[in-house]
Amino acid sequence: MGILFFSLFFVSILILTILKECPKLDSFFNKYHIIASFLPNWSFFAPIPGMHDYILRIRYYDEKGEQPSDWKILQKKIEKRSYISIFWNPKKKLSKILFDVINDLIQFNNKVRDLNYLRLSTPYLQLLNFINGREHPDSKKYIQFSIFRYSRIYKEELLFQSDIHPIE
Amino acid sequence: MIMSFYIELIANPTFAYQGILFFLSISLLLTSFEEILNKDIYQKRGILSFDISKLNNKWMLNTKIGRFLTLLMNENIFIFLLYLKAICSVYLLILSFDTSYSPWILMLLLMNNILSTLRSPYGLDGAHQLQFMILLSLSVLSFNHTSMMMHYICFGFISMQLILAYFIAGLGKILSPVWRGSYGLLLVFSTNSYGNEFIFNQFNRHRFLTAVLSWSVILFEMSFVGVLLLPINLGLILCFLGIGFHLFNAIFMGLNNFFFTFLSAYPALFFLLCKIHG
């Protein structure tokens, strides 16, 4: 009985793993996103691989509507990896999370194209919260962030600019 | 003589189980240390602040089980769970030298993996997903380890996930004009996140080499589906190509966790290969 149950259980997971790759079933998996989050996504770097790195920049305002400060890089560009990263690569964790959050924000932005709606989205709030959590000069009251993308092939370009928010 | 000794060894289910545990515990240990070192990301002002990510899951706020899980996922308890994961991984590594089965440790690590997935989808990769699949099947196996059939089912499941991982990745690439045009590798290596300046320059200079390597990756990933059906020598060659592929990715793409996690699935595949080919 146990063998039959677990066989069916594992076969179901394998079938769902395959079905998750079908674009036609996206709406089904979006509806049951909790189940989908446990299913693997095996289409590594396909169909279109990530071809950019992102840079997060911020600038300050003393008062809303006044002249802003210059853009300042908040998240450093990823430096060259050392060869020890074959075994130990802790920097990858934050850079992967930021990459995912920014990717999600950009995709959502491409869909809605409405900053009022976008600033209530999880990736926008996560980024704003992360930026607010950094140290800022006491004299500054407002902050704005922007996302740039670049690679060894493509020149740096502005991808997204946020609303102006009070520093919490 | 030596070859037959090794084949007998890897055809032993307990040895295969120990092999999986050994590499899995290393990958879990690395992951947990990297997470502990980055523990600020889980704090209230971190990029994975739970105060914000839970807004995405209304069921967490509206159901009893959701509210209970919310307690486990708040920053202080979650960071404690990261330390617990590291301790369990060390224990698992020690256990991998023993022939006993360890269901409770595996269940704890599985729960930890589930909580990470529920807490936030950001930053989770294929290594995390494969860890989940292996932990799930080993947990089931260790509760039923006296059954040989259960070994076949669980190792079969791990092997099928490994085969699917390569096949789906290969299929996605062959259907993509970017990869068919041999630009995929060049684009990946043009980034700092997954690329490497030296390799990018070589690929950029020698486009024919890039095309050959791009198609080699696609063909390798797609042919892996036949690993269990091909003659054992060819099957083993595919396996060693797979391990080499992950080693290359660890060295030049920084995918260190993928290397150990995928390596941990191979003893299950070796076990099945030996059984299928007698």
pLDDT digits (tens, 9 = 90+) for B114-148: 999 999 999 999 999 999 999 999 999 999 888 99
Q: How far is the C-alpha of A79 from the C-alpha of A1, rounded, in Å?
A: 55
Q: How confident is the model at residue B166 (pLDDT cuts 50, 70, 90)?
A: very high
- Residue pair B70/B60 in contact by the 8 Å Cβ criterion: yes
Q: What is the pTM of this model?
A: 0.94
Neighbours of B50 (CB within 10 A): 20
Residues 154-213 of B with CB under 8 A from A: 154, 156-157, 160-161, 164-169, 171-173, 175-176, 178-179, 184, 186-197, 200
DSSP B42: G
Q: Mean pLDDT, to the nearest integer, of B82-96? A: 96
Q: pLDDT digits over A16-30, tens only?
A: 999 999 989 999 998
**A2 has pLDDT over 90:** no
Torsion angle (degrees, nearest 10) of CA A38, A43, A46, A51: 50
| pLDDT at position B235 | 92
Would you call B254 and A89 a contact, using CB atoms and an 8 Å cutoff? yes
Q: How far is the C-alpha of B157 from the C-alpha of B121, rounded, in Å?
A: 24
Q: How far is the C-alpha of B165 from the C-alpha of B242, rounded, in Å?
A: 11
ipTM of the complex: 0.92
Would you call A100 and B256 a contact, using CB atoms and an 8 Å cutoff? no
Q: How far is the C-alpha of A12 from the C-alpha of A16, rounded, in Å?
A: 6
Q: Mean pLDDT, to the nearest integer, of B68-80? A: 90
| pLDDT at position A68 | 87
Tokens 């159901």 sit on residue:
B63
A97 reaches B (C-beta below 8 A): yes
Q: How far is the C-alpha of A127 from the C-alpha of A98, rounded, in Å?
A: 8
**B12 has pLDDT over 80:** yes
